[in-house]
Structure 1
Amino acid sequence: MLNSEGVSPHQSLRSTTVRPIGVYQLAGLATDQTHLLAVDTIRGYFLAIDPTTNNTTILNPDNVEDWLDAVGLSIWQDTVWFAQGQTVFWCDRQTLQPTLFVDLPYPIDGVAVWESTVYITCQKSGYIHIYDRHTAKLRNKLPQPGVGIENLTVTQDALWVCDRTEQTVYCLDKDTGEIQLSALTPFVSPTAITLYAPTADAEPICYVAYADEEPYIRDDPNNADSPYQLTFRDRTFIHPLNIDHHPEQHYTRSNGYLVELSYAEELLPLDSVTINQVEWRIALPSDTLRQKVRHVEPIGHPFTIEEQAGQKVAVFKFDQLKPNQGGLIGWRAVVEMYSLKYQLTPAHVETSPPLSEAMQQKYLVDDDELKMDTETIIAAAKAAVGTETNVLRKMLRIRNYVYDRLSYGIQPKIDTPDVALERGVASCGEYVGVLLALARLNGIACRTIGRYKCPQHSELKNLPLEPEFNHVWLEFYVPGIGWLPMESNVDDVIDRGPYPERFFMGLAWYHTEIGKGISFEKMKAADKPEDVTLGDLAINHIRFRILDELLPQASEVAAD
């Protein structure tokens, strides 16, 4: 049966957020193939949720205290499994009275059961502990795939793990723990995972629960002087994770969004200046493995499109710009933007061919005040890598070395890498500069990419969203594989590590790739004074609008 828009109910579920009623923090998720089942760790509720209506039923109304602080949830036949603190419990589905299964010396984060096997995750131990369901004896341990608090579910074929810090879902081999794929989630703080198939012949939907706090403006009528106050409230919901896995190419795309992006320069000169024969160039969004430009059109003034190093650029031309002349120039683009995560190990690149001479000449040089000839940067490049030769291990060691020595902070201007490294505090652009310098000195071709990130409010469709800052990250090149993305500073979230690797060879849907490997914006004129910059002539306006959610399988995007 199809709805009025020609979409089956099952297909509609793949882009519909489930918002249970009266819940605070979901920390466990399962299914009985009729409902989604969940635990609210704050209230102690064991819940049945209809994903088509959001109707929510508390299944343990008489013993919610027994379930307070419950995390993890698994259903096996007529039993229910969950954890509290350092203990795993099971109970009969009819009585829901918890019975102790096993105690661990660490806080437990997740439980999953399949036939005679119980899987238990513990961030503090760093392992997934595997127990015999009948004897409660430890059989084996598998290393956790990420660094954060992890929840899991299990099927006949695989273990599925979601990591709260990594913002990632992993599919693991049940016996070896080998990662089969990893996919970035569209929201932060994933807390639980399950696979739901409403009918026997339906393809399962991977549902992920999220829980965090959101800021909001509270109206306080008792405070006449300041009636509006910024405060926080709990936010928890369930959303399908849609996965498009390409094992031969070692990457996975996940949930995407159709986004309208506008970039415009408002002519607002600081000084009275006349310039002639003006050519103003602004890079356009790129077509990449995770991003497809559907449409682009001018704002304020017509442009022509030129190609520069494989990238498209909007070119605006003026015979003359006069003092105090008003105007807008820019573009509006409609872009498909997906999350992308590569699953490559050092073994995959152990036999990579050497970097070509052309790549060395272009991407191993100091072409942007990287200070690669200074004692500070030369010493750091040696210390970061040591004797490592594998390109992936080298790049990861460089990233971790930089994260150990820098903390994020917005600076009044971009300093050179030697200054930023000695200061110990850096903006995203300064992180990129240090990473570029150390990588290039170690023979790794890399380049700057980025420009803006869409505000992460995918639920606010068709509303104007304006980013506070621009943003840059980088790409590094592996011969035989291609360009791989790496965030600048975003994963530097744990003092002295271990650092998450969500954006090491990965980008979330809200990253906008514009003008890869070329300057974002340039202006030249026949008589432009040397001391006049773009910032002296115009002020920019950036606006995003999220139009729709996209399934990654439904669209083909360009190869990188």
Structure 2
Amino acid sequence: MQDPWLRTIRPLAACALQGIGFLGDDLIALDSIRGYLLRINPATDDTTILNTLQVEDFIGAEGLSLWQDALWVARDNSVFFCKMGAFSLQHFFTLPYPVTGVGVWESTIYVASQKAGYIYIFEQASRREITRLPLPGVGSANLVVREEELWVCDRLEQTVYCLDRATGEQKFSVLTPFESPTGLAFHRHPITGSEILYVCYAKDEAFIRDNPNNLDSPFEVSFRDRTFVHPLQFHYEPKTHYALSNGYLIEMSYAEELLPLEEVNLEQLEWRIALPAETDRQKVRSVEPIGRPYTEEIQDGQRVAVFRFETLKPNERHLFGWKALLEVRAIKYQFTFDDVDRVPMLSPEFKAMYLVDDDELAMDMPLIVEAAREAIGTETNILRKMLKIRNFVYDRLSYALTPRIDPPDVVLERGIGSCGEYVGLLLALARLNGIACRTVGRYKCPPQSEYRMVPLEPDYNHVWIEFYIPGYGWLPMESNPDDTGEGGPYPTRFFMGLPWYHAEIAKGIPFETLTSHGKPVDTVSIGELAINHVRFTVLDELPPPS
């Protein structure tokens, strides 16, 4: 039976929670659309509106914070406070820019403004600004103070940061399991005494609406508010240089249905399909065959299933593949620019494997050579170089699904690319600048972790990259999802990080290959031979990482 204090909290009548705190064991939440201050029982979702006569004053407010008998909120450019129970807002301070978050510790007030890019720190009695600290992300932020730590959640970054309260130095950061975190609060479990970090989320979601007035086409796409509170599980060990957060046990199936467009006859056919990898964030509990048995081989350190057919005859039909039980978590690597300022030279073996044009990367084309030079300028730090290359690509490309993967020079001239074409350009520019990197994929589980025991099918495959830091190892970087706006600034949530819903398969090797009599099949493509079937099922949320 699930611990009621570790469940998802879904308060009644709430539209968009923009701040949370605890008063005893009751969760106090601010709904910015309705203007409600809600008292919620975390174990039952029982919900009460506290400010029954003052809701208009709280419409558009955000950044709720509680300290003793006082409640603090932000609205537009100003910070307000009131006594719990009275709910008559009093003005505290007005900034030149909109305020999105407020945190309180004793007589010190912390105020976040994304537009200004700072966390302002005020003395309560004098209302004097003491100092200011830079905000760590690029989106709207909310705050909570815990003794000597300042915790910040960023909506666009999908990240919670732990900062030193005095200096603003980042201790570590973790990815949240859902998009658009809007508030956070700590509370001790009433029975075990363990501390739990709760995070609230607010975002519109699309759904299929049945419109009975439209008889010809009654099903329509519409949008509705989606807001809830969920415990953020996390673990950070400085020695490993990464932080893990919420994870899920998922079942993934990958199968090919042999259904050729034109009948073919192939002999001594070997059909190789890569298997899920063991990584810092992904553990493989089990893998079993679907339809036909396979033998397992190791290719460049990666597990591969090999299906063998003595003769593939015309009109022959098969279903074959694998089913895996995976533990997947979000991961965020915690390297700073200073950590990698002096790293060892890349080994000759890695140069030969990961600095070459091995996949039509157009690395000898003048346009790509010049782009590689322009992307990094005079930068020498490996992390800064990789980040500048990513931002250069984001500045020049916009995402769109394309019918085929074109070479990087064609993609750069066109200015539009799919995830695979982002990857090709990133690989070319990084390798020309001496950074070893490789393609990784291959699928993402639909990020709907609340749909337990329900088969979920991704619409497309997906690829991203890993780049190598000598002396440490491979770090992930998404291809296009962080390219969120024209000209930036771009979030860095998936720079050295991956969310829980990525399935890591085929690191630096092809996902699928065909050979006949030991030679690559070039007379027909996999897509012309078979239809793939990909299915994910979220079975359960994993216990806290350790």
Considering the TM-score relative to the shorter chain, is it more than 0.5? yes
**Structure 1 residues 445-464: aligned runs within 5 Å:** 445-464=436-455
Q: Deviation per CA, 1:314-336, whole angstroms, max 9, x where unpaired?
A: 11111111001011110001101
Q: Which residue of 2 aligns with 1:353?
A: 344
Alpha-carbon offset, residue 197 of structure 1? 1.4
Q: Quick one: distance in 2 between partners of 1:248 and 1:198?
A: 28
Could you report, residue by residue, the CA deviation over 1:28-74 in whole angstroms, capped at 9, with x for unpaired residues? Answer: 11112311111000111111111111111111112111211110111
Once residues 530 and 198 of structure 1 are traced to their aligned partners in structure 2, the CA distance between those partners, rounded to angstroms, is 61
CA RMSD of superposed structures (Å): 1.3
Deviation at 1:354? 1.0
Deviation of 1:494 (Å)? 1.5
Report the alpha carbon displacement of residue 552 of structure 1 after superposing the two structures with TM: 4.1
Aligned partner (choices 523, 535, 538) of residue 543 of structure 1: 535
TM-score between the two structures when normalised by the length of structure 2: 0.98
Q: Which segment is superposed worse, 210-219 or 169-178?
A: 210-219
Give the deviation of 1:201 after TM superposition: 6.7
Partner residue in 2 for 1:303? 294
Question: Is the contact made by 1:33 and 1:197 (CA closer than 8 Å) also made in structure 2?
Answer: no
- Work out whether 1:382 is the aligned partner of 2:373: yes
1:213 aligns with 2:214: no
1:42 correspondence with 2:33: yes
Q: What 5-or-longer segments of structure 2 have no aligned partner?
A: none
Q: Among residues 118, 122, 126, which one is paired with 1:131 in the alignment? A: 122
Distance 1:372 1:33 in 2: 62
Q: CA deviation at 1:157?
A: 2.1
Alignment check: 8 A CA contact 2:245 2:331 kept: yes
Q: Tell me whether 370-379 or 525-534 shows the greater mean CA deviation.
A: 525-534
> Structure 1 stretches (4+) deviating beyond 4 angstroms?
none
Question: Counterparts of 2:80 and 2:521 in 1: how far apart (Å)?
Answer: 75
CA distance in 2 between partners of 1:209 and 1:465 (Å):
25
Matches within 5 A, 1:525-540: 525-526=516-517, 530-540=522-532
Q: Deviations over 1:181-221 (max 9, x none)?
A: 10000000111111111439712111111001111222222
Q: Tell me how far apart the structure 2 counterparts of residues 227 and 51 of structure 1 sit (CA, whole Å).
A: 38
How far apart are the structure 1 equivalents of 2:24 and 2:159? 24
In the other structure, the counterpart of 2:12 is: 21
CA distance in 2, matches of 1:494, 1:173: 30
For residue 314 of structure 2, the aligned residue among 319, 323, 327 is 323
| TM-score normalised per structure 1 | 0.96
Give SS of 1:257's match. strand
Contact 1:33/1:199 (8 A) holds in 2: no
2:241 corresponds in structure 1 to 250
Match of 1:189 in 2: 180
Q: 2:387 aligns with which of 387, 396, 408?
A: 396
Report the AA paired with residue 367 of structure 1.
D
Q: How does 1:165-184 map to 2 (within 5 A)?
A: 165-184=156-175
Match among 288, 304, 316 for residue 279 of structure 2: 288
Query: Structure 1's 533 and 81: CA in aligned 2 closer, same or farther, altered over 3 A?
Result: same
- How far has the Cα of 1:17 moved from its partner? 0.5
Please state how far the C-alpha of 1:240 moved relative to its aligned partner.
Answer: 0.7
Q: Which amino acid aligns with 1:153?
A: V
Structure 1 unaligned residues grouped into runs of 5+: 555-560
- The letter of the residue matching 2:122 is Y
Partner of 2:397: 406
Change (3 A) 1:260 1:203: same
Contact map agreement 1:338 1:552 (CA 8 A) in 2: no
1:553 alignment partner, SS class? coil
CA contact (8 A) 1:184 1:508 kept: yes
SS at match of 2:545: helix
SS at match of 2:406: coil
Residue 545 of structure 2 is aligned to residue 553 of structure 1: yes
- Offset at 1:529? 6.1
Q: In structure 2, the residue corresponding to 1:180 is in which secondary structure?
A: strand
What is the aligned partner in structure 1 of residue 357 from structure 2?
A: 366
- Give the Cα–Cα distance (whole angstroms) in 1 for the partners of residues 48 and 200 of structure 2: 17
1:145 and 2:128 aligned: no
Residues 287 and 293 in structure 1, CA contact (< 8 A), matched pair in contact too: yes
Please point out which of 482, 494, 498 is paired with 1:507.
498
Amino acid at match of 1:149: S
